[in-house]
Structure 1
Amino acid sequence: MDTAVETDRIARNIVINAPRERVWAALANAETFGQWFGADLSGQTFAAGQRTRGPITIPGCEHMAFDVVIERIEAPHLMSYRWHPYPKDASVDYSLETPTLVVFKLADADGNATVLTVEESGFDNVPPHRRLEAFRANNNGWNFQLERIARYVTAV
């Protein structure tokens, strides 16, 4: 029996009762992404190689920033970025750390629905003193965020 626990990667998926184009629009547009994710990304765009940054607007997390570098955008099925997971301390320079990779994948599901999968990997490269806390925070956070995008997309 394999009892190994995955510590480097988080993977989640959700079936959203909306067509892929609608889910893609909520994912690939920076301002719209910010609306459901809980970050002020007003006036910004997502483009490969580009940094996008804005304050988190989720109550209790306002001291943190959403700060990513877009890696790939392949409409309408894949978007990925790199970021520093759980940057809770504004006095820390997280740019000295290796970022994790977040990949969103879209696939068609029955009934004009969409399967959205998110995978975040690279936690084994987060400094040991904060690795477990960052993993736990994002492990819970992705459940929360997938519910947020599903509510956003189906309310539009």
Structure 2
Amino acid sequence: MVSDQIEREVLIDAPVERVWSLVTEAEHVGRWFGDAGAEIDLRPGGAMVMRWSEHGTSHGRVEAVEPPHRFAYRWAPFSHPLGDEPVEGNSTLVEFTLTADGDGTLLKVRETGFADLALTAPEQTAAHEGNTRGWRMELDDLVAYAKQQSAVR
């Protein structure tokens, strides 16, 4: 049976408000998360599009916007045709929780719903394993991006 969730956390050397911007504004998400741009309608029910030069495009739907501490969205795997509305059964739920930690921010990411994907068990496992590796890399990229943005300011 596939594990249903991925949980990761990382300490970012930037205040909560700054990290909030980095995880919710398309101009930033399209650089550290996707490498080929992003679009985010930052309101519950708003559409998201994230692009990678190597992986293609993924569509999402904003679920929660609670500045500056919680942001959640549902996103469809790359294998679904473009335009699929992300709903339970074809998508997972990603939740970012931001908490002040001294001068920095503890960012927790939780992705759930792998066991509910309308895929075979091996495909569910592959999706979970791929996203587990992906979050490790993407959060490392976010830490580096936050440091780079701090240096620019």
* Shorter-chain TM band: 0.7 to 0.9
**Other-structure match for 2:70:** 78
**Other-structure match for 2:37:** 40
Cα separation, 2, equivalents of 1:98 and 1:122: 9
What's the CA shift string for 1:61-116, capped at 9, x where partnerless? 2xx2131100001000000000123x24769x686843110000000112x01000
Shift in Å, 1:16: 0.7
Residues 1-156 of structure 1 aligned to structure 2 (within 5 Å): 7-38=3-34, 39-41=36-38, 44-57=40-53, 60-61=54-55, 64-85=56-77, 87-88=78-79, 97-110=89-102, 112-126=103-117, 127-128=119-120, 129-156=122-149
Cα separation, 2, equivalents of 1:50 and 1:139: 25
Tell me how many residue pairs correspond in the alignment: 144
* Unmatched runs of 5 consecutive residues or more in structure 1: none
Call closer, same or farther: CA 1:72–1:142 in 2, change over 3 Å.
same
Cα RMSD over matched residues?
2.3
Q: TM-score, normalised by structure 2?
A: 0.83
Shift in Å, 1:41: 1.9
Cα separation, 1, equivalents of 2:66 and 2:92: 19
Shift in Å, 1:13: 0.2
Cα separation, 1, equivalents of 2:108 and 2:3: 18
* Unmatched runs of 5 consecutive residues or more in structure 2: none
Cα separation, 2, equivalents of 1:31 and 1:45: 12
Q: TM-score, normalised by structure 1?
A: 0.82
Identical positions, percent: 31
For the 8 Å contact 2:37–2:50, the answer to whether it is kept is yes
